[in-house]
């Protein structure tokens, strides 16, 4: 790989998001209060709109039944809509994963993935979600579960009252993970990633990022508080190159929708200024850094962004993040056959992560059209994992979800008219 074009993505900070005309979804309480003032309404109306948007997750102004008819009419007259992204297409995998093509108001599309039972990505990170997974493995044995048998909760509910569980539990799942996109395309140009092939089209707004979650929750009639939902900002795009909108969406999801930030993980390719800002946030998801290589030379070849920010600088930034009780930092490592998957690489990773409260998620590279890498051999994957564990680093292999529908890591690419998709159900 000689001359790799560098598109570090830094210049994309100028890419301006194009908000939908008059979308309410995405507005915070302060903005809604301002809007109510303009409409000659009392401030408490803003709280009602906020609750309707994020707690009740209404799909239209008409459904905001806590508002007076007159207020609803004046919102509609002025062209205000809820403005949730529309699920334009759905692909269903044999493993229960669903991939959605989400259409924004201007017609741009991104992808969002629903993974009942998650992908194992939470394992070992010290969080509540991780402990649940460990308990589940203890009871049922490790491995993927698409468990839909009648009476699941009678047998597996650990004695808890079934009435306290929501729609997911009734289908036999203990949790689900939603993978959301932060940009239309991506500018970072990692050589192994399908999304990179799109280039960057635009940033998403906070409402468009959080709106993906609301649209998927509505589709599955999820009851927050009863059903356990994990969020991963690991879809299309680099969240730290759309930092303000990404963080604003986190606040809407925490304060509005009611998903705790301890159940959210953001993955970055290593955008240093973003990582530094992230370290100063009080409400923030957990961090995952896409390390993907054990030294700068290999990393530059597969992630040209490394020319701008070296591994050492990224690790220094990680160390400056004040970790909460039970919080660990995840390092993702995509295994590329013959490139970064050999014992010498494992030894280098151990040296890099020594002394950190870190765990590693190994991801077996998912192939994609026009990408010239090889998958690692199962033997090399096993040796790599064993060496890291022997060196004292908790190391997990992420379960690939939805491979048959191109929904696994790095496989999210717009395929509006793609006919090769399996299981399309529009």
Residues near ligand SAH, by CB under 6 A: 192-193, 234, 238, 267-269, 290, 292, 332, 334, 363, 365-366, 368, 409-410
CA distance to 216, 228, 363, 423, per residue, from 87 (Å): 8, 22, 28, 15
Among 82, 101, 115, 190, which residue sits at the site for ligand SF4 (rule: CB under 6 A)? Answer: 190
Among 195, 205, 242, 265, which residue sits at the site for ligand SF4 (rule: CB under 6 A)? Answer: 195
One DSSP character per residue, 346-405 reads HHHHHHHHTTSSEEEEEEEPPP-TT----PPPHHHHHHHHHHHHHTT-EEEEPPP--GGG
Strand partners, 87: 102
Dist CA 249 CA 205 (whole Å): 8
Cβ-closest residue to ligand SAH? 410
DSSP helix/strand/coil, 113: strand
DSSP helix/strand/coil, 162: helix
- Angle in degrees, CA 395, 400, 405, rounded to 5: 165
Dist CA 47 CA 41 (whole Å): 12
Among 238, 300, 332, 380, which residue sits at the site for ligand SF4 (rule: CB under 6 A)? Answer: 238
Q: Does 186 bind ligand SF4 (CB under 6 A)?
A: yes
Dist CA 292 CA 305 (whole Å): 12
219, 189 contact by CB (below 8 A): no
Q: Tally helices (H) and strands (E) across the chain.
A: 13, 12
Among 101, 115, 188, 364, which residue sits at the site for ligand SF4 (rule: CB under 6 A)? Answer: 188
Nearer to ligand SAH, 93 or 292 (CB): 292
271, 240 contact by CB (below 8 A): yes
Q: Nearest distance from residue 110's CB to ligand SF4, in Å?
A: 11
111 as an active site residue: the answer is yes
DSSP helix/strand/coil, 215: helix
Q: Does 48 bind ligand SF4 (CB under 6 A)?
A: no
231, 178 contact by CB (below 8 A): yes
Q: Does 179 bind ligand SF4 (CB under 6 A)?
A: no
Q: Nearest distance from residue 186's CB to ligand SF4, in Å?
A: 3
* Alpha-carbon torsion, ordered 295, 298, 300, 306, to 10 deg: -30
Nearer to ligand SAH, 105 or 247 (CB): 247
Exactly one of 179, 186, 193, 409 is catalytic; name it: 409
Please list every residue from 266 through 285 that binds ligand SF4, using CB under 6 A.
269
Tell the residue number behind the tokens 């409260």, with chain if given.
357
Dist CA 133 CA 396 (whole Å): 12
DSSP structural state of residue 198: G
Q: Does 111 bind ligand SF4 (CB under 6 A)?
A: no
Q: Does 340 bind ligand SF4 (CB under 6 A)?
A: no
Nearer to ligand SF4, 256 or 410 (CB): 410
Nearer to ligand SF4, 134 or 277 (CB): 277
Q: Nearest distance from residue 403's CB to ligand SAH, in Å?
A: 10
190 as an active site residue: the answer is no
Q: Nearest distance from residue 392's CB to ligand SF4, in Å?
A: 27
Q: How many other CB atoms sit within 10 Å of the CB of residue 221?
A: 11
DSSP helix/strand/coil, 101: strand
Window of 32-40, 70-78, 84-92, 182-190 that interacts with ligand SF4 by CB under 6 A: 182-190
Exactly one of 98, 108, 111, 300 is catalytic; name it: 111
Nearer to ligand SAH, 249 or 268 (CB): 268
Q: Nearest distance from residue 1's CB to ligand SF4, in Å?
A: 15
Window of 70-78, 122-130, 163-171, 193-201 that interacts with ligand SF4 by CB under 6 A: 193-201
Nearer to ligand SAH, 170 or 276 (CB): 276
| Contact partner, 272, from ligand SAH, ligand SF4, none, Cβ < 5-8 Å per class | none
Nearer to ligand SF4, 205 or 290 (CB): 290
Catalytic center residues: 111, 409
Name the site residues for ligand SF4 (rule: CB under 6 A). Answer: 186, 188-190, 193, 195-196, 237-238, 269, 410
């Amino acid at each position: 790989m000689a001359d790799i074009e560098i598109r570090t993505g830094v210049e994309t900070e100028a890419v301006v998001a194009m908000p939908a005309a008059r979308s309410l979804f995405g507005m915070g309480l302060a903005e809604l209060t301002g809007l109510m003032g303009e409409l000659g309404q009392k401030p408490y109306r803003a709280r009602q709109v906020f609750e309707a948007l994020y707690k009740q997750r209404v799909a239209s102004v008409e459904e905001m039944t806590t508002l007076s008819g007159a207020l609803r009419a004046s919102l509609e007259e002025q062209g205000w809509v809820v403005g949730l992204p529309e699920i334009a297409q759905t692909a269903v995998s044999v493993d229960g994963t669903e991939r959605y093509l989400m259409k924004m108001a201007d017609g741009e599309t991104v992808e969002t993935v629903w993974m009942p039972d998650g992908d194992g990505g939470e394992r070992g990170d010290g969080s509540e979600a991780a402990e649940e997974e460990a308990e589940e493995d203890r009871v049922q044995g490790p491995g993927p579960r698409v468990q839909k048998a009648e009476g699941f909760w009678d047998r597996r509910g650990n004695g808890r009252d079934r009435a306290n569980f929501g729609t997911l539990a009734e289908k036999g799942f203990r949790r689900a993970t939603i993978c959301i996109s932060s940009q239309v395309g991506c500018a970072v140009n990692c050589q192994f990633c399908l999304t990179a092939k799109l280039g960057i089209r635009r940033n998403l707004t906070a409402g468009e990022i959080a709106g993906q979650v609301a649209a998927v929750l509505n589709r599955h009639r999820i009851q927050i508080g009863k059903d356990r939902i994990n969020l991963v900002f690991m879809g299309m795009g680099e969240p730290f190159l759309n930092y303000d909108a990404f963080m604003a969406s986190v606040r809407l999801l925490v304060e509005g929708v009611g998903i705790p930030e301890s159940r959210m993980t953001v993955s970055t390719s290593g955008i240093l200024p973003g990582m530094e800002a992230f370290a100063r946030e009080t409400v923030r998801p957990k961090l995952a850094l896409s390390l993907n290589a054990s030294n700068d030379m290999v990393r530059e070849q597969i992630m040209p962004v490394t020319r701008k920010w070296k591994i050492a600088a990224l690790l220094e930034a990680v160390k400056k993040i004040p970790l909460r009780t039970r919080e660990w930092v995840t390092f993702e490592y995509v295994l590329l056959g013959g490139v970064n998957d050999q014992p010498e690489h494992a030894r280098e990773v151990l040296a890099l992560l020594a002394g950190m409260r870190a765990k590693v998620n190994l991801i077996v590279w998912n192939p994609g059209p026009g990408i010239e890498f090889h998958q690692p051999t199962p033997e090399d994957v096993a040796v790599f994992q064993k060496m890291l564990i022997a060196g004292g680093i908790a190391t997990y292999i992420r379960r690939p979800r939805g491979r048959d529908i191109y929904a696994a890591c790095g496989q999210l690419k717009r395929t509006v008219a793609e006919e090769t998709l399996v299981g399309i159900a529009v």
